[in-house]
Amino acid sequence: MSYALQPIWNIAHICHKHGIENVILSPGSRSAPLTLSFARHKNLNCKVVADERSAAFIALGIAQQTNKPVVLICTSGSAAYNYAPAIAEAYFQRIPLLVFTADRPPEWIDQFDGQTIRQTNIYGKHVKESYTLPVDLSHQDAVWHTERTISEAINLSKTYPAAPVHINAPFREPFYPPVRKIDEENVNDFYENEIKYDIDVKIIEQIHSRPKIRTQDWEELLEVWNRTEEKLIVGGQMRYNERLVSVLNGLEVTVVADIISNLHTIKNSIQHQDVFLMNRESLEELRPELLITFGKSVISKNLKKFLREYPAIEHWHIQPAGIAADTFQSLTKVIPLNPSYFFRKVLEKQTRFAESYRQSFFVDNWRGTDAEITKLNTNFFEEQPFSEFEAVKMAMKMLPNHSNLHLANSMSVRYANYLNTNKEIEIFSNRGTSGIDGSTSTAIGHALADKETLNVLLTGDVAFFYDRNAFWNNYLPKNLIVILLNNHGGGIFKMLPDAAKQPESDEFFVIKQNLNAENLSHEFELEYNFCEDKNEVQKALQNLELDIEKRNRITILEIKTNIEINTKVFQDYKNAVKVLEVD
């Protein structure tokens, strides 16, 4: 009877042949054929995570860190739906996932059978494609269909823009390989249920090409570039790219660097636009004539508002392929190239010297205003009571170079963006959908994928406790530090003026709670430290073990703050910015 499942066993081998290395499984019976196929393959790294929502975010973190698709496998029913938040996040962050959901045969859908829901196209438009494998795999055409589908799905997940691809796999019983008694004479029963993979399994490789544009188009772009003085480059969320940073440094053009753009090491980059654009009155003099963008989302709401109200005459967006988002409502050209290649060619052909860019009124306005905020951030907290805002500043100062900083939603990532950094660290945040779910799981995925790099997660209490099952697995990495800002509620709703004024705010928006992480830390055997004033925080940060070789488990540093003080300090900060603008 093993022939019936042989095409399923071969799925794991096809994935291996395509270079996939990591698999995250969640337990289930209907998914047993897939689970055994991958678990017994000696070249695949399989991990079991019981909570499907956490499992999917861990897979997302691994895929993001390795730049390779990660396989997800779950059983039928609501288990598949629990993948949805991470799949949506991966879709908008352009992270490749290969999602296998086991299913009932089609004749049992809507027949009140257990763990049976409508799984066809369950993730809608948040996957590149959704495939369904044949139920009957006895015919050779069905085998060919299955093998072809797996290759197509893997290739599609990696093709720009990368994204999740869904494969629904309906199974009839039996789910397990047959058990054969090897020695009838042996008193001790000895059984065999070995899975064997076909060596000649069908593989379809996709060869990737580099996008190009016509010489005439290049000439027109360069003509606009060379005659335009007021140029602004805005990078959206992306991984750190050394080549891109190097060429942008050579251009000397004004670069706006949200912290999640990983452009913060560019000299003279604009890092505090979200601060000075919130109250600045004379915005017209900051309006660019030519806006050039690349990457995905930006955090700064104030930057988006400014560029929509003061649109550039021309707006070019650079990406290798796909439909470009018109985030700032001013898009005029989509340039199908890699950003580093585009700017390198521009650097070679530009006629205006870098010195003239540096001395322009436009550049002075952007850089001068940004420098004022840098000064404000240096001294502001000296006269303020201790708050979570200052705790973020202290934590970011502690980070060693060449570490990863993970920023949870909602206030953690905003505080970090107001402060920004010049350190040689890489920044990650789930800003595809900007949800609070999965931040801890994603950071754990990164730490598992690269055990030689220190990962630090900066998170608030709501996001932290929402994802507490991130620690419910047997693979907790030692190279992760969690800095938990606990103000016992959703503090962002205290800082949104319209929300804070509502009489229902505390009960229905802030949702005050009395949890702390001590019991959780004991439950999962994590190192735990607690502090609630500036001196304690300073001491705790100094005592953190940053040497991975000397670490033996995850550390949670919980910093308790007062939500009312946090709100007042943040309001004082905005007032200080406003006064700065008047001066």
Q: Is the pLDDT of residue 478 over 80?
A: yes
In the Cβ-directed half-sphere of 72, how many Cα atoms lie within 13 Å? 38
What per-residue confidence (pLDDT) applies to 189?
54
What per-residue confidence (pLDDT) applies to 502?
78
Over the chain, what is the mean pLDDT?
92
Query: How far is the C-alpha of 453 from the C-alpha of 551, rounded, in Å?
Result: 12
The answer to whether the beta carbons of residues 48 and 27 sit under 8 Å apart is yes
Residue located via tokens 């550039």: 312
Nearest 5°: CA angle at 437, between 432 and 443?
80
Q: Is the pLDDT of residue 246 over 60?
A: yes
Q: Is 3.40.50.1220 the CATH number for 215-373?
A: yes
Query: How far is the C-alpha of 479 from the C-alpha of 262, rounded, in Å?
Result: 21
**Tens-digit pLDDT profile for residues 390-422:** 999 999 999 999 999 999 998 999 999 999 999
The answer to whether the beta carbons of residues 248 and 347 sit under 8 Å apart is no
Query: How far is the C-alpha of 256 from the C-alpha of 271, rounded, in Å?
Result: 6
Query: How far is the C-alpha of 123 from the C-alpha of 129, rounded, in Å?
Result: 9
Q: Is the pLDDT of residue 512 over 90?
A: no
Query: How far is the C-alpha of 425 from the C-alpha of 363, rounded, in Å?
Result: 26
For residue 426, what is the enclosing H or E element? Answer: strand 426-429
Q: Which 3 state secondary structure label does DSSP give 415?
A: helix
| Percent of residues, the chain, with pLDDT higher than 70 | 93
Q: Please name the amino acid found at residue 44.
A: L
Q: Is the pLDDT of residue 349 over 80?
A: yes
Q: How confident is the model over 470-480, as a mean pLDDT? A: 97
Q: Which 3 state secondary structure label does DSSP give 314?
A: strand
DSSP secondary structure letter of residue 383: G
For residue 54, what is the enclosing H or E element? Answer: helix 52-66
What per-residue confidence (pLDDT) applies to 530?
98
The answer to whether the beta carbons of residues 193 and 177 sit under 8 Å apart is yes
The pLDDT confidence band at residue 192, using thresholds 50, 70 and 90, is low
Query: How far is the C-alpha of 544 from the C-alpha of 555, rounded, in Å?
Result: 8
Q: Which 3 state secondary structure label does DSSP give 207?
A: coil
**Tens-digit pLDDT profile for residues 535-560:** 999 999 999 999 999 999 999 999 99
CB atoms under 10 Å from CB of 152, counted, come to 16
What per-residue confidence (pLDDT) applies to 312?
97
Query: How far is the C-alpha of 246 from the C-alpha of 564, rounded, in Å?
Result: 43
What per-residue confidence (pLDDT) applies to 511?
79
What per-residue confidence (pLDDT) applies to 186?
59
For domain 384-582, give its CATH number from 3.40.50.970, 3.30.70.890, 1.20.1260.10, 3.40.640.10. 3.40.50.970
- Cross-strand bridge partners of residue 158: none
Q: How confident is the model over 280-307, as a mean pLDDT? A: 93
Which of 194-208, 308-322, 461-475, 497-511 has the lowest average pLDDT? 497-511
Same fold, 2-175 and 384-582: yes
Say how far residue 77 (Cα) sits from the centre of its chain.
26
The answer to whether the beta carbons of residues 125 and 84 sit under 8 Å apart is no
Q: Is the pLDDT of residue 308 over 50?
A: yes
CATH topology classification for 2-175 = Rossmann fold (3.40.50)
Query: How far is the C-alpha of 70 from the C-alpha of 97, rounded, in Å?
Result: 5
Give me the residue spans of the domains in the chain: 2-175, 215-373, 384-582
Q: Please name the amino acid found at residue 527.
A: E
Q: Which 3 state secondary structure label does DSSP give 454?
A: coil
Query: In whole angstroms, how far apart are CA 524 and each of 53, 69, 116?
Result: 18, 29, 33
For residue 404, what is the enclosing H or E element? Answer: strand 404-407
CB atoms under 10 Å from CB of 358, counted, come to 14
What per-residue confidence (pLDDT) applies to 582?
47
Q: How confident is the model over 69-88, as a mean pLDDT? A: 96
Q: Is the pLDDT of residue 2 over 50?
A: no
